[in-house]
Amino acid sequence: MKKEMRYLVPGDYMADPAVHVFNDRLYIYPSHDWESGIEENDNGDHFDMKDYHVFSTDDVMQGEIIDHGLALQVADILWAGRQLWDCDVALKDGMYYMYFPLKDQNDIFRIGVAISNRPEGPFIPLPDPMRGSYSIDPAIFDNGDGEYYMYFGGLWGGQLQRYRDNKALECAVLPEGNEAALPARVAKLSSDMLQFAEEPRPVIILDEHGKPLTAGDNERRFFEASWMHKYNGKYYFSYSTGDTHRLCYAIGDNPYGPFTYQGVILTPVVGWTTHHAIAEFKGKWYLFHHDCVPSKGKTWLRSLKVCELEYDAQGRIITIDGQSSHALKQ
């Protein structure tokens, strides 16, 4: 289905959105692309992001998008190496917790936490990353019962293939063919929101026969960009398939899964990566994502987009055309 799509920050390159409603206002937490001059490669070294800005609006498709300015930068983080990739933010007891992936000084991705008393920041980072954290793409889900869960993980440059059972491997291993696909991870957060409350668990996605998706099932298996939302009592785990350029989703009955594959949310966009967030605001559902149309296909200079998301009578998400020609002008 073709949808009207809006570019949210036409004056800058933002990507990988996390989106939440705080204080009756919608807040967007993207990564911040720039022309780093680093040669493009499959590990994503050219994605050398250095800071975050926070944006907000009270009208998704037509309203003003406010840039609240610099919220956090690599220079503020004591354990920093490089590459401040996508982040997410959660609210608990009046405080806002930002979770961010960043390579440490050994070039290993860890997940850090920064804190603010305002949704727009600035955020003050803790002096150390979360214990036992690894890989990228933290996405925080508030279950509404006082429990918060982090979903995370990404292949290739995201380094998930370097770990098994939360332990680092001597050599990275990517499953192939009929071997089980590498899953995302999920862990409940501690009551103070600063650490894992448990060992991260695999996020298992099942096919229509109840079998885990295989590594060779590139059209459907997980690659990166976890997101969780709840609709009509069901848990919707959505993600990017990476090199097959789809956003897909699976449905389960609890935050841990297992989740049964359902279909495609968004077909491939212009540009290599696909990363998203799904949020309800003022009675409508929206898909936030990015593409590379404004930068004429440069995959490391991505631009934020949004369109309305719809469900059918059975709760299935209606597939959206990622290259819709109906982008709204700013």
Task: Tell me whether strands 224-231 and 167-168 are parallel, antiparallel or unpaired.
Answer: unpaired
Buried b (16+ CB within 10 A) or exposed e, 205-222: bbeeeeebbbbebeebbb
Question: In this structure, are residues 213 and 179 in contact, taking their beta carbons and an 8 Å threshold?
Answer: no
Question: In this structure, are residues 152 and 226 in contact, taking their beta carbons and an 8 Å threshold?
Answer: yes
Nearest to 214 by CA among 238, 240, 179, 244: 179
Cα–Cα dist 137/139, whole Å: 6
Which one of 33, 88, 137, 224 is the catalytic residue?
A: 224
AA letter at 177: G
Which one of 16, 48, 86, 291 is the catalytic residue?
A: 16
| Close Cβ partners of 220 (under 8 Å, ≥ 6 residues apart) | 205, 207, 213, 241, 248, 261
The reply to whether 224 belongs to the active site is yes
The reply to whether 16 belongs to the active site is yes
Active site residues: 16, 224
